[in-house]
Structure 1
Amino acid sequence: MACHQRSTSLPSLPHPAESNVEQDLQTLKAHVSSPSATIDTICDGLRRLGDLYGCVEAMMCLPSNQAVTQQRKMAEEELDRSLALIDLCNAVQESLVELKTTVQELRLVLKRGDDAAVQLKIESFVRLAKKAHKPLKKTTSKGTAEGCRVVRVMAEARETVVYLLESMLRLLPKQIDGPSASKWSLISNRFQKRKVACEERQLQALEHGMGDLGDGVELLFRRLIQSRVALLNILSS
């Protein structure tokens, strides 16, 4: 009996899966914030974040997290924020489709040697990327230090989603509109087939990367819906 009383007075330790999720979220943010981050880095981050949301779902089923029903208000608030996050991912998906189409059009005008059209498409790409960034500013990404562990982890995961999408949309304009943006323009340079072929290959790689980003955001979108459904089931049980 004494052992039983002593054991109940000790603070409960987090399940190993829970500790890993929290640590992995922090590692992921550091991973994508690196100055050397690339489209491949962001794609990998989206995939890993989707996997982590699968772990969050598993956490909800742990006996230690059944307390979520006892903190219904905080859980419901997180539920509302998760819906806003799903809408955000959907908006980003649509923006990525537009951006990919612009890259495809840029490849065509580059082949034709239409200098003015090349510049216009570059400006269009940058403008679309900046436009896609606006909804992120309206999304509440701040986590919470309160509530049961699973709610706190969900809040931190939500914050990581916004952070990752922000990193992606900041990175994309740099693929064309960086310090070496002039390399895409033929306005002040003689038309050189070798130069155009090199630029066309780079744009093809960017187009492929845009497709990978779209797939990553779509995967995350599905994971967010699954996570929201899991939380809804817990609150309705």
Structure 2
Amino acid sequence: MALHHARSNSLPSRPHPLSSQIDEHFSRLNASQLISSSSSSSSICHKLSCLQDLHDCVDKLILLPLTQKSLAQEQNEKWVDDVLDGSLRVLDVCSMATDALLKTKECAQELQSIMRRRRGNEIGVSSEIKKYLTSRKVVKNTIHKALRGLKYLENKSSLSPFNKDHEAVAVVSMLKEVEAVTLTVLESLMTLISGGAKAQSKLSGWSLVSKLMHHKRIACEAEETEVNEFEKLDSALHTLIYQKTSKSDNTGSLENVQQQLKDFDLCNQELQEGLENLYRRLIKTRVSLLNIFVN
């Protein structure tokens, strides 16, 4: 799912300053530095911040008397259900991403706590690492299934001809664009949580040596290509497990895991805050729409 590279001129007749502000927020989201191949946590956090500003403006636009009057006249049109379904769909995806973050965070914090208490020298650490990696596998499978669902929705979605009111046409077109760009950013976030594009290949059939070589290669390439915090932590943990199994010196790997856990915690917290702020704005916009169409 790609961001719209060119916006339709759906709001040219609207003199209200909010229309130009919405266009500016779309431009920020479509800017080359935001939709580059980079999918780092800092890039995603920036996008989430842009989305929050965009949804703030959208809600203000919906609350304008002229907008409400225009939309209220079209309550019986088929696109009304499409708009409401779209707002609910975005909420569901946002909630799913939040759940994935929380589950990963809980397991990572438990692992960090045990490593502090046992200093990585006891069997309990290995079992907790395996527990974390098992949880990550469940989260990844859930995310991959959700991403396939988003691809299906992208292929199925279309804006059918409707309405004779130019004002309503403009607002609905804008709402559909907002839905699309929001789902695109959430898709990028879920890809980040799953470990990025590289992590999408299944590890279950690999030998321990193959895994170790893969994770060492990731570590060597980290300076040249971006490897997100989720993938770095997964890689460090797989390496530590291998070294424990082969009874080789794991001092460096243990320190690396501890550092990755700290970095991961900061990254996760920032993403979680961005998602929670976005979710509140999504709820607010949906309530505004329901107040128009249901009342």
Aligned to 1:48: 50
Which of 100-109 and 52-61 deviates more?
100-109
Quick check: 1:68 aligned with 2:71? yes
Q: Which amino acid aligns with 1:84?
A: R
Q: How many pairs are equivalent? A: 227
Q: Indicate conservation of the 8 Å contact 1:28/1:45, yes or no.
A: yes
Aligned residues: CA RMSD: 3.1
- Residues of 2 paired with 1:24 and 1:143: CA distance? 23
Q: Deviations over 1:166-205 (max 9, x none)?
A: 1111112337957346543224443343442232122221
Q: Which amino acid aligns with 2:270?
A: D
Query: So what's the TM-score if we normalise by structure 2?
Result: 0.64
Cα shift at 1:70? 3.1
- Residues of 2 paired with 1:171 and 1:17: CA distance? 32
Which residue, 85, 97, 100 being the options, matches 1:95? 100
Q: Indicate conservation of the 8 Å contact 2:29/2:47, yes or no.
A: yes
Which residue, 277, 286, 289 being the options, matches 1:219? 277
The residue correspondences of 1:1-237 to structure 2 (distance < 5 A) are: 13-15=13-15, 16-29=17-30, 31-62=33-64, 65=67, 66-72=69-75, 73=77, 74-108=79-113, 111-113=119-121, 114-115=125-126, 117-119=128-130, 121-139=132-150, 140-141=153-154, 142=157, 144=159, 148-174=169-195, 177=199, 179-180=218-219, 182-184=235-237, 185-189=239-243, 190-236=248-294
Q: Which amino acid aligns with 1:221?
A: Y
Q: Indicate conservation of the 8 Å contact 2:87/2:286, yes or no.
A: yes
- Residues of 2 paired with 1:158 and 1:124: CA distance? 30
| Structure 1 unaligned spans of 5+ | 1-10
Q: Indicate conservation of the 8 Å contact 2:97/2:189, yes or no.
A: no
Q: Indicate conservation of the 8 Å contact 2:62/2:289, yes or no.
A: yes
Matched residues, percent identical? 25
Rate the CA distance shift 1:145–1:45 in 2: closer, same or farther, 3 A. farther
Helix, strand or coil: the match of 2:74? helix
Q: Which amino acid aligns with 2:29?
A: L
Rate the CA distance shift 1:117–1:63 in 2: closer, same or farther, 3 A. closer
Cα shift at 1:54? 0.9
- Residues of 2 paired with 1:95 and 1:56: CA distance? 27
Which of 153-162 and 107-116 deviates more?
107-116
Rate the CA distance shift 1:133–1:20 in 2: closer, same or farther, 3 A. farther
Q: Indicate conservation of the 8 Å contact 1:136/1:162, yes or no.
A: no
